[in-house]
Structure 1
Amino acid sequence: MRHRTARPPTAEDQVPVDLETMRETVDRLLDPDAVPEVLPPAADELETLTLQMRGHLELLIPEVEQAAARLSSDSIPRYCALACVGEARDRLRAAPRAGR
């Protein structure tokens, strides 16, 4: 049996980030007009939306890192972007809290 090593992903392998879907998920979770009476009623829906948000972050983090890498090393926007990536990774490592 031949063993193969995985090749690194190429630009052709990468699927573009679906910003429209991500925005819809955020709107459902963080609707500024929402009050407790109109939040997702079922715990399983809230869990699904939370998992979607976590997945969106996992897709966006490498995109932000790649964009930051194209900036000069002493760039303030690069520093801020990488700081946000670190914060996002920390939050993804944290276990979700129960309840709303």
Structure 2
Amino acid sequence: MEVDILEFGVPVDSNKTVFVWDIPPVLTHDQVYEQLFHIFSSFGPIYLLKVSPNAPLHPPGFYAIIKFYSAAHAATAQKVTDGCPLLQNSALKVTSCSSG
């Protein structure tokens, strides 16, 4: 059994953050939030989940920023979910935010 010891302070490292985009507008903002929380919290404790509408010049839909307490949880979430049909069978794009 592998054990992670987490510090429950404000995560400041960018490698603890994932960015999700191409979220279709078939769900409401609240539905997107709830479903993303359910999906991504299964990888580990989440510090922040923010869902926002796309900018006016982009197609309708949403994007989300998800900040984990653990970089390992963020990396696993990104690898497992990128390109998967998670919301209404739409393949989402999920990337890690990394410093550099």
Under TM normalisation by the shorter chain, which class is it?
under 0.3
Structure of higher CA gyration radius:
1
Structure 1 or 2: more helix by fraction: 1
Structure 1 or 2: more strand by fraction: 2
